[in-house]
């Protein structure tokens, strides 16, 4: 007798990405002014709200649209942001990758070149590889030399912070935490050495860096956002889940204005694969990612006092 019972395959239960609360960014005071501690003291948020937000972060991650402009890690409000059409978040947007390439990969003489030239090349690379470049100003930057993006305006401070004697150990600790088994001491030291050389000529290298946003806007007017409000980031989320990004406006709206710095580390790994695709470029790819993570951590050290909560979003085991 034929058994006509139909056995339906079990539907695998969707497993949410793992949210790892790594505690405060640091137990020592960093050089920046953005402070979660100050916001709590002012009554603008609380530890309870911050912890509740961390527990619900997955609800605010959405698929990336590669045709949508690349965003900075900045958590401030973007009034023109299409929450259904989001690009990935990386420090300084597309131009920010230029410094990482200079420090980690570029074989040109480190005593030559400018950030503006490097950034123009990187924006071209984004376009050539099918990614939408992006950057931002803020509402206070019109008519000013500064563009209103801390990752661009403060690049000289970021490089100085990365190489500052009293902060190097803390910098290395956070970089190792973010990269895990992919951290290589030799790559770290090589990038740090390049940072020392470029920092020594920072005035020349970063001269005119603010022009990159104008150049970016001329290439694609919709690629530049204007952010509003003050920095109120209480959380730093480093996202390792491919193809996803933080819905930053929606997060702030849901939690009484609390903001998060969001860094899609997966995008830096993807960009390394696209920029340096040959099999013999494996070391260059690793150094690009190392330099991108190192500059990201240095950006946070220059912008914040280290009192934000650091969260990793990664695949569940």
What pLDDT, in 10s, does the model give residues 152-189? 888 889 999 999 999 999 999 999 999 999 999 999 99
| Alpha helices by DSSP H, the chain | 36-41, 47-55, 97-104, 115-128, 150-153, 155-162, 168-179, 185-200, 202-205, 211-219, 248-254, 265-275, 282-303
**What mean pLDDT, rounded, does the chain reach?**
90
pLDDT band at 135 (very low <50, low <70, confident <90, very high): confident
Q: What is the pLDDT of residues 74-97, one digit of tens each?
A: 999 998 888 889 999 999 888 889
Rounded to two decimals, what is the model's pTM? Answer: 0.92
| C-alpha to C-alpha distance for 295 and 298, rounded to whole angstroms | 5
pLDDT above 60: residue 4: no
pLDDT above 80: residue 143: no
pLDDT above 90: residue 195: yes
pLDDT above 80: residue 121: yes
pLDDT band at 13 (very low <50, low <70, confident <90, very high): low
Q: What is the pLDDT of residues 238-295, one digit of tens each?
A: 999 999 999 999 999 999 889 999 999 999 999 999 999 999 999 999 999 999 999 9
Model pLDDT, residue 1: 43
């Amino acid at each position: 007798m034929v058994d006509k019972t139909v056995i339906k395959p079990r539907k695998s239960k969707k497993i949410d990405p793992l949210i790892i609360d790594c505690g405060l960014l640091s137990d020592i005071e960093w050089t920046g002014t953005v402070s979660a501690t100050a916001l709590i003291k002012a009554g603008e948020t609380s530890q309870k709200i911050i912890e509740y937000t961390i527990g619900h972060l997955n609800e605010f991650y959405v698929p990336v649209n590669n045709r949508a402009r690349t965003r900075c890690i900045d958590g401030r409000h973007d009034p023109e942001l299409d929450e259904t059409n989001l690009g990935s978040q990386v420090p300084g947007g597309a131009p920010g990758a230029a410094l990482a390439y200079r420090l980690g990969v570029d074989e040109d003489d480190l005593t030559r070149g400018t950030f503006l030239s490097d950034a123009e090349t990187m924006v071209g690379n984004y376009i050539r590889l099918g990614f939408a470049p992006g950057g931002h100003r803020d509402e206070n930057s019109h008519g000013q030399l500064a563009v209103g993006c801390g990752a661009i305006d403060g690049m000289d401070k970021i490089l100085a912070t990365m190489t500052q004697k009293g902060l190097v150990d803390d910098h290395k600790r956070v970089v190792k935490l973010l990269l895990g088994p992919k951290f290589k001491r030799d790559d770290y030291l090589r990038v740090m050495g390049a940072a020392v050389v470029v920092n020594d000529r920072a005035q020349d290298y970063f001269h005119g860096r603010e022009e990159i946003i104008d150049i970016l806007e001329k290439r694609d007017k919709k690629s530049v956002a204007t952010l509003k409000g003050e920095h109120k980031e209480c959380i730093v989320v480093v996202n390792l889940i491919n193809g996803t990004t933080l819905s930053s406006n929606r997060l702030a709206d849901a939690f009484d204005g609390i903001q998060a710095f969001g860094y899609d580390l997966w995008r830096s790994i993807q960009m390394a694969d696209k920029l340096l695709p040959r099999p013999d470029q494996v070391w260059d790819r690793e150094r690009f990612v190392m330099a991108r993570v190192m500059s990201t951590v240095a950006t946070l050290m220059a912008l914040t006092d280290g009192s934000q909560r650091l969260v990793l979003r990664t695949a569940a085991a």
